[in-house]
Amino acid sequence: MTAPPAVPRSFREASARRRLLDLLDPGSFRELLGPAARESSPHLAALDLPVSFDDGVVVGAGRLGGEPVLAAGQEGRFLGGAVGEVHGAKLTGLLQRALRERPRAVLLLLDTGGVRLQEANAGIEAVSEVMRAVLSARGAGVPVLALVGGAWGCFGGMGIVARCCDAVVMSEEARLGLSGPDVIEASRGVEELDASDRAMVWRTWGGKHRALLGEADELVEDDPAAFRRAALEWVRRPRPLSLPALEREQAFLARRLEELGGCADGPDAWRAAGVAEPDRLPLLDLPAWSAAVGGARRRRP
């Protein structure tokens, strides 16, 4: 008889608050501007739509490995984690607080489809402000990490935010990109992209593909403890935000585009990157995947 595999707690299924509690040192998290403050969206209320007491994002302070950090978690179950004006202001405010408090790092637990369409320009502006705040924090020497492991993944403007961070940690089940599959199908038609073909969706936006391309710096199991280990590691490895560093990154991206830009599908890119049997990759567990991709994995400088 096969021994039943252990069923670990899932990071993906946890609420935003639960994820933060699991990520930080036990008992250390203090929420700022919590739900009792009832800072909910005036736009949604004006449209007679349901609101959330925290506008779908939890922000606060805590400790990671004993050191002070600021952290935010988006609640993907509320409007797909979409960023509205209040939601975005809470993220921006947290990042600006970092300029004052100088924590060891800011951790962003992203789970979002991007801008909240109901809030239109206010939402777009909010996301731009988050981008600027991420870069300001980094510029001031506070590393910012993106941890992407929720059911929505991270799309739209928030996909750009993730890639403005010092590092991106993803689970295999998470997705990262700009326009997501549903958006592409809705705007370009099912002939262009069939969003119900989940295997295709994951080999295009999923964690394994992103990690192989160097978009994600580390790929972890869908396990709160694995995200915590990765966060402990990556807060110690900030990337400089300097002109030479950006030029190195630009060169990396240009080279990657030249090598893989012509590939039509994930496995084509994996083969072109140097993986021997690319079609096997989606089915491999993470250790086997790491061994199989080996040196073919691109790494952001």
Nearer to other proteins by Cβ, of 1 and 264: the residue is 1
Specify the 3-state DSSP secondary structure of 43.
helix
173 binds other proteins (CB under 8 A): yes
* DSSP result, 226-293: HHHHHHHHHTT-PPP-SHHHHHHHHHHHHHHHHHHTT-SSHHHHHHHHT-SSGGGGGGS-HHHHHHHH
User: Does residue number 280 form part of the binding site for other proteins (CB under 8 A)?
Assistant: no
**Interaction residues for other proteins, span 78-137 (CB under 8 A):** 78-79
Contacts of 150 (CB under 8 A, 6+ apart): 11, 12, 19, 74, 76, 81, 109, 110, 111, 112, 174
Is 198 or 236 the residue whose CB approaches other proteins more closely? 198
Buried b (16+ CB within 10 A) or exposed e, 145-175: bbbbbbebbbbbbbbbbbbbbbbbbbbbbbb
Tell me if residue 31 falls in helix, strand or coil.
Answer: strand
Among 25, 99, 282, 296, binds other proteins (CB under 8 A): 282
| Least gap, CB of 44 to other proteins (angstroms) | 9
65 with 25: CB under 8 angstroms? yes
Considering only 28-36, 94-102, 128-136, 183-191, which stretch makes contact with other proteins by CB under 8 A? Answer: 28-36
Q: Residue 172 Cβ, how far from other proteins at the closest point, in Å?
A: 6
Residue in 29, 202, 234, 270 binding other proteins, rule: CB under 8 A: 202
For helices 120-139 and 157-164, angle between their N-to-C axes, nearest 10 degrees: 0
Q: Is 2 in the site for other proteins (CB under 8 A)?
A: yes
Cβ 170 to other proteins shortest distance, Å: 12
Among 46, 140, 186, 199, binds other proteins (CB under 8 A): 199
Binding residues for other proteins restricted to 153-172, rule: CB under 8 A: 172
Q: How far is the CB of 215 from other proteins (least distance, A)?
A: 17
Please name which of 262, 230, 34 lies closest in space to residue 145, comparing C-alpha atoms: 230
Interacting stretch for other proteins, rule CB under 8 A, among 76-84, 88-96, 136-144, 252-260? 76-84
Distance of alpha carbon 208 from its chain centroid, rounded? 14
Question: Rule CB under 8 A: which residues touch other proteins?
Answer: 1-2, 4-5, 7, 9-10, 13, 15, 17, 34-36, 48-54, 56, 75, 77-79, 172-173, 196-200, 202, 206, 208, 282-283
